[in-house]
Amino acid sequence: MSWQPGQVDDLQQILTLLRQSQSPDTQIQRQVQARLESLNQYPDFNKYLVYILTKLLDEQEATRSLSGLILKNNAKSHYEKFPDDVRSYIKQECISALGDRSPLIRATVGILITTIVTKGSLEQWPTLLEHLYSCLDSPDVNLCEGAFGALQKVCEDSADQLENAPSQPLNVLIPKFIQFFLHSHPKIRSHAIACVNEFITPRATALMSNIDLFLENLFQLANDTDSDVRKHVCRALVMLIEVRIERLIPHMQQIIEYMLLTSQDADDTVALEACEFWLMIADQPICRDVLQPYLDKLLPILCKNMKYSEIDVIILQGDIDEDEHIPDRIEDIRPRFHRARTRQHAPNLLDDNDGTSQPNNATDTNNNSTPANSQTDQHLQHDDDEDDDDDDESGVSTDQATEWNLRKCSAAALDILSNVFRETILPILLPILREMLFHSDWQIKESGILVLGAIAEGCTYGLTPHLPDLVDYLIKCLNDKKPLVRSITCWTLSRYSTWVVHNEVEQNKFLIPLMS
């Protein structure tokens, strides 16, 4: 007989705490947190949590999900100390709730399952994969989606376990995932591609032996109506550029045209994944040959994508005019470029001074953990509050910069492509730049200044005849009423500082005003 709560009062006490923890009052939250932590001394507490998550169908979803997330945190901290009967009950109830009617509860169950697999091992839950696999063919869409959601999380967190398991489960799972690329339900299609994508970079044997079927079904989803599906298709193609480019070369023209279209997708998350393609292809020997015919289409797209999004403008308070009346915060006045001495390059495009800091998980375009090898990608980051004493890279605090986005990726792509094609791109870019720099919309003007900075290294020779006018224009922009325009102007001028300093004829005109 399955476990049942021993005391109704105990169950109600935990439910009350879970409800109170959602209070906006921080004092109440702290009190509830302390009480919940004290309950960990009782072995059955975790049984109560999974019972609330999976059995109390009439309870509010938020309370049920919170119960599951607290259990997840407990498992993450001390799963190895859970008694065997508690572990067995949790696993049993997770399996029973895979098809819950609530997407939130199904997602929470999936998180709990992958946490247990990560803290233990697949060998300690030998029936899990077989059960999840069997659920994929269920006519109950909720059960199929719940099983796929759990599988996706396990693939993300335990890809090595799956690939190295003695039973070789990927030999069965990957063909099954590929089959579901064409499922009628978009959420399931999305899960299926995401599962397979986890095994592209590690070149899993089971995937490489099914690569033709994978590509065939992937190409059929290129114009899928679901944005998550399109996002995963783009991500797959970007990773394949690195690991199996020879399989893509016969289709390269269609892929480039697809990425040009998708880089302009109405959904920025899709456009961002597509834009990663230009970073990745720029690092390949075939770049010049395959992209040359498309530069007149690609470069305007990248320039357009470098405009701040509306949400960025709000976060960065960029629509404020003169801001002298607003007190500077400590993070506002912290040195932005002090780490330049540890770099081979000048301060670069992705310092959060221009709102373009790079993520830790950006696509690897240079066979290491750093994106494409341009100044745009080798960004300097702000100090963490506690890590000012060394010269290691540190994280960007959330109140200083937004995450890796379409603007940053497009700027990085333009930077590295300008290093590939050099001055040959200027006949395309200069008319675009002229329009952007003198546009009445300050956001377009600001992005034009960013474009000018992005191409500083790659197009130096071709830009030299234009620099007297451009630097004069930029110095005037230092007095722009928009703080973000002044900020990006400072950065772009730093990219041309060598020319300013060494141009002795024009020093009185440029260097002295710039230093002032």
Please report the pLDDT score of residue 392 as a whole number. 36
Conformational region of residue 274, where left means phi above 0, alpha means psi within -120 to 50, and beta covers everything else: alpha
The mean-pLDDT minimum among 188-202, 210-224, 244-258, 390-404 falls in 390-404
Q: Could you tell me the pLDDT band of residue 148, with boundaries at 50, 70 and 90?
A: very high
Residues in the chain: 516
Percentage of residues in the chain with pLDDT exceeding 90? 70
Which residue would you say has higher pLDDT here, 348 or 59? Answer: 59
In a domain, residue 32? The reply is yes
Amino acid letter, 287: C
| Domain that includes residue 44, residue range | 1-120
Residue 325 has pLDDT above 80, yes or no: no
Q: Could you tell me the pLDDT band of residue 329, with boundaries at 50, 70 and 90?
A: low
Determine phi and psi for 155, rounding to 5 degrees: -60, -40
In a domain, residue 474? The reply is no
| pLDDT tens per residue, range 154-212 | 999 999 999 999 999 999 999 999 999 999 999 999 999 999 999 999 999 999 999 99
Among the listed residues 204, 205, 193, 203, the one whose alpha carbon sits nearest the alpha carbon of residue 234: 193
Q: How far apart are CA 69 and CA 54, in angstroms?
A: 12
In a domain, residue 299? The reply is no
Q: How many CB atoms lie within 10 A of CB 29?
A: 14
Residue 347 has pLDDT above 60, yes or no: no
Residue 353 has pLDDT above 60, yes or no: no
In a domain, residue 303? The reply is no
Q: Could you tell me the pLDDT band of residue 327, with boundaries at 50, 70 and 90?
A: low
Average pLDDT for 281-292: 96
Q: How many CB atoms lie within 10 A of CB 2?
A: 9
Please report the pLDDT score of residue 313 as a whole number. 85
Tell me the three state secondary structure of residue 486: helix
Residue 341 has pLDDT above 60, yes or no: no
Please report the pLDDT score of residue 42 as a whole number. 86
Which residue would you say has higher pLDDT here, 7 or 32? Answer: 32
Q: Could you tell me the pLDDT band of residue 331, with boundaries at 50, 70 and 90?
A: low
**Most confidently modeled range among 5-14, 81-90, 379-388:** 81-90
Please report the pLDDT score of residue 502 as a whole number. 82
* Side-chain-side CA neighbours of residue 147 (13 Å): 23
Residue 142 has pLDDT above 50, yes or no: yes
Q: How many domains is the chain built from?
A: 1
User: pTM above 0.85?
Assistant: no
Q: Could you tell me the pLDDT band of residue 379, with boundaries at 50, 70 and 90?
A: very low
Average pLDDT for 327-340: 46
In a domain, residue 215? The reply is no
Q: Could you tell me the pLDDT band of residue 508, with boundaries at 50, 70 and 90?
A: confident
Which residue would you say has higher pLDDT here, 411 or 10? Answer: 411
Residue 287 has pLDDT above 90, yes or no: yes
Please report the pLDDT score of residue 110 as a whole number. 97
CA distances for 454 relative to 195, 373, 486, angstroms: 35, 13, 16
List, as one string, the DSSP characters of 190-247.
HHHHHHHHTTTTTT-HHHHTTHHHHHHHHHTTTT-S-HHHHHHHHHHHHHHHHH-HHH
| pLDDT tens per residue, range 213-230 | 999 999 999 999 999 999
Among the listed residues 383, 373, 381, the one whose alpha carbon sits nearest the alpha carbon of residue 344: 373
Give the angle 13-16-19 at the CA atoms, nearest 5°.
Answer: 155
In a domain, residue 169? The reply is no
Q: Could you tell me the pLDDT band of residue 403, with boundaries at 50, 70 and 90?
A: confident
In a domain, residue 345? The reply is no
Q: Could you tell me the pLDDT band of residue 501, with boundaries at 50, 70 and 90?
A: confident
In a domain, residue 3? The reply is yes
Asked if 351 and 380 count as a contact pair (C-beta separation under 8 A), the reply is yes
Q: Give me the chain's average pLDDT, please.
A: 85
